[in-house]
């Protein structure tokens, strides 16, 4: 069985019960894209015989290295990568007008789009993001081109052609009927790529820039083709006020989406900071997931999501970089900023004489992997290491050349080393990136291998 590989060493992942489960001296067998066995290393001989495999199929990690699941970025605006790290002086609504809409308008041009989109996917893979839920732009053709680029690189992704039919500049607005028709054409074109790793995602930008009719119509497309939906919800106070003004029927922000049929088990709601208890109940009832994007929320001065409260209510939560509201395309940054936002809640609570249990690094590691897979409706497929799931994984090398951090004798356990990597590591410590069992990136060199090369 030439397409079977066996990885041998330490694996660290999360389960529903345990945010950090460390499997030492372990072997994981991967046939094509799927995990076919997980066993102790002392069973290697039996397993190789059972599957008629030679020793050459075994990849032994060094004693310092370990394997974790690939990161899942639940919210990223791919076209905004061009101004990532710039333009952090404004709040959301001015930022959209000043930087975002003018930049996204450029994606009408396929040459420009190809260059930027290739760099985004390359960067995300280098940073260990094996799955991303991307927003493209309003342009159908270059949104399809983006999917073809993701296909070439072998990343797993949800991708949305964005819908905007109001409250945007004239140069970046669609006619409602055209937006709906092009969304369906986009869905059909992406489906025709026949890449099981790429899912079209219905993407009404947010309630400010979408009419009720547009939201209803694209909601119907999601229903007809059984697709996920992504949008923004309650990101900052001026935006929440604006929604009341634009949709004046007296509904709260969440109900504006609910009445349009946009809240489903496969809806990804970015931000969701200023929700009332009633809104949280609706989100729970509908089974939607929330993408927490702390870098963006701090950079655009939007607010501080109370992740602990939502987790206590069993709402699905994943993390997002939200480039370029967030200035970093790395999920390691999203992990760190999630911890900092949670700590800020604890500081504020203490000031008010209240108790607040901030998230620890293990819980946040789970949000960046398994949590993200739940938010994207992919928890049967990815998120951790279980027999039957696909092998999306990162080989972490804490002792690589130019490592971003140092280890000391006091760093005794794999848990210590994972913690250091999550807070101090960077892409130099990510040695290899696997998506659906394929190595799509090796440190220092890109391996462009799509699923079609099998
Ligand atoms: O962070 C954000 N980025 C965006 O591009 C956007 N559009 C609507 N709402 C948004 N929020």
> What's the mean pLDDT in 14-42?
98
Pocket test for ligand 1, best of 96, 101, 233, 303 (most atoms within 8 A of CB): 96
Where does the pLDDT of residue 446 fall: very low under 50, low under 70, confident under 90, or very high at 90 and above? low
Taken in order 339, 342, 344, 349, is the CA torsion positive or negative? negative
Return d(Cα 439, Cα 261) in angstroms, integer: 39
Residue ranges of the domains in the chain?
4-69+385-453, 71-375
Looking at the DSSP bridge assignments, the partners of residue 395 are 67, 432
Name 183's Cβ contacts closer than 8 Å, sequence gap at least 6: 161, 163, 202, 218, 221
CB of residue 389 inside a 6 A radius of ligand 1: no
Inform me whether the pLDDT recorded for 311 exceeds 50.
yes
Atom of ligand 1 nearest to the CA of 208: 8
Using alpha carbons, list the distances in angstroms from residue 384 to 174, 342, 367, 415.
40, 24, 11, 17
Cβ-based burial of 125 (10 A; exposed 0-12, middle 13-18, buried ≥19): buried
CB of residue 92 inside a 6 A radius of ligand 1: yes
Q: Strand pairing of 229-233 and 289-292?
A: unpaired
Cα(390) to centroid(ligand 1), Å: 31
DSSP string for residues in 23-60: EEEEEEEEETTEEEEEEEGGGHHHHHHHTT--GGGEEE
Inform me whether the pLDDT recorded for 2 exceeds 70.
no
Count each helix (H run) and each strand (E run) in the chain, helices first.
Answer: 16, 19
Q: What confidence score (pLDDT) does residue 447 get? A: 64
Q: What confidence score (pLDDT) does residue 454 get? A: 43
The answer to whether 140 and 161 are in contact (CB under 8 A) is yes
User: Quick one: what percent of the chain has pLDDT higher than 70?
Assistant: 97
CB of residue 136 inside a 6 A radius of ligand 1: no
Per the structure block, which two tokens stand in for 425?
């590591």
pLDDT in tens, 327-346: 999 999 999 999 999 999 99
pLDDT in tens, 352-403: 999 999 999 999 999 999 999 999 999 999 999 999 999 999 999 999 989 9
Inform me whether the pLDDT recorded for 110 exceeds 50.
yes
Closest C-alpha residue for ligand 1 atom 10: 232
> What's the mean pLDDT in 51-72?
97
Cα(420) to centroid(ligand 1), Å: 32
Cα(115) to centroid(ligand 1), Å: 22
Pocket test for ligand 1, best of 75, 92, 136 (most atoms within 8 A of CB): 92
The answer to whether 226 and 265 are in contact (CB under 8 A) is no
Inform me whether the pLDDT recorded for 445 exceeds 80.
no
Q: Name the CATH topology of 4-69+385-453.
A: Urease, subunit C; domain 1 (2.30.40)
Q: What confidence score (pLDDT) does residue 451 get? A: 47
pLDDT in tens, 252-270: 999 999 999 999 999 999 9
CB of residue 342 inside a 6 A radius of ligand 1: no
User: Quick one: what percent of the chain has pLDDT higher than 90?
Assistant: 96
Cα(223) to centroid(ligand 1), Å: 24
End-to-end CA distance of the chain: 13
Average pLDDT, the chain: 96
pLDDT in tens, 174-192: 999 999 999 999 999 999 9
Q: What is the DSSP letter of 409?
A: T
> What's the mean pLDDT in 117-126?
97
Name 409's Cβ contacts closer than 8 Å, sequence gap at least 6: none
Atom of ligand 1 nearest to the CA of 209: 8
Q: Name the CATH topology of 71-375.
A: TIM Barrel (3.20.20)
Inform me whether the pLDDT recorded for 453 exceeds 60.
no
Closest C-alpha residue for ligand 1 atom 3: 325
Pocket test for ligand 1, best of 73, 77, 172, 203 (most atoms within 8 A of CB): 77
Inform me whether the pLDDT recorded for 449 exceeds 90.
no
Where does the pLDDT of residue 288 fall: very low under 50, low under 70, confident under 90, or very high at 90 and above? very high
Of 178, 174, 185, nearest to 143 by C-alpha is 185
> What's the mean pLDDT in 411-436?
96
The answer to whether 207 and 257 are in contact (CB under 8 A) is yes
């Amino acid at each position: 069985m030439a397409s079977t590989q066996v990885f041998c060493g330490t694996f660290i992942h999360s389960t529903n019960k345990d945010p950090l489960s460390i499997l030492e001296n372990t072997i994981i067998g991967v046939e094509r894209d799927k995990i076919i066995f997980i066993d102790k290393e002392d069973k290697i001989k039996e397993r190789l015989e059972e599957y008629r495999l030679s020793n050459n199929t075994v990849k032994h990690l060094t004693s310092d290295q370990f394997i974790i699941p690939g990161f899942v970025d639940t919210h990223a605006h791919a076209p905004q990568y061009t101004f990532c790290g710039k333009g952090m002086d404004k709040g959301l609504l001015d930022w959209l007008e000043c930087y975002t809409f003018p930049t996204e308008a450029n994606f009408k041009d396929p040459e420009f789009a190809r260059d930027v989109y290739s760099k985004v996917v390359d960067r995300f893979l280098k940073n260990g993001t094996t799955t991303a839920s991307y927003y493209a732009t309003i342009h159908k053709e270059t949104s399809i081109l983006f999917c073809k680029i993701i296909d070439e690189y072998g990343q797993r992704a949800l991708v949305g052609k964005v819908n905007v039919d109001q409250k945007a500049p004239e140069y970046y607005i669609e006619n409602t009927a055209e937006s709906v028709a092009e969304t369906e054409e986009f869905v059909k074109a992406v489906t025709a790529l026949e890449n099981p790793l790429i899912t079209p995602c219905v993407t009404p930008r947010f309630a400010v820039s979408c009419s009720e009719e547009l939201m209803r119509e694209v909601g119907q497309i999601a229903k007809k083709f059984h697709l996920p939906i992504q949008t923004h919800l309650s990101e900052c106070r001026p935006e929440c006020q604006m929604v009341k003004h634009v949709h004046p029927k007296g509904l709260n922000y969440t109900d504006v989406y609910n009445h349009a049929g946009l809240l489903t088990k496969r809806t990804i709601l970015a931000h969701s900071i200023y929700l009332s208890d009633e809104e949280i109940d609706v989100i729970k009832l509908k089974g939607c997931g929330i993408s927490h994007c702390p870098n963006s929320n701090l950079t655009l001065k939007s607010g501080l999501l109370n992740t602990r409260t939502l987790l206590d209510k069993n709402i699905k939560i994943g993390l997002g970089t939200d480039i370029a509201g967030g200035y970093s395309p790395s999920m390691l940054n999203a992990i760190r900023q999630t911890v900092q936002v949670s700590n800020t809640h604890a500081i504020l609570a203490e000031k008010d004489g209240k108790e607040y249990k901030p998230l620890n690094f293990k819980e946040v590691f789970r949000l960046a992997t398994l949590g993200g897979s739940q938010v994207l409706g992919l928890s049967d497929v990815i998120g951790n290491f279980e027999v039957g799931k696909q092998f999306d994984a990162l080989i972490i090398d804490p002792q690589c050349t130019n490592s971003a951090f140092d280890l000391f004798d006091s760093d005794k356990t794999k848990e210590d080393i994972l913690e250091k990597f999550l807070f101090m590591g960077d892409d130099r410590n990510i040695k290899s990136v696997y998506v659906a069992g394929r190595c799509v990136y090796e440190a220092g060199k890109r391996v462009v291998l799509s699923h079609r090369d099998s």
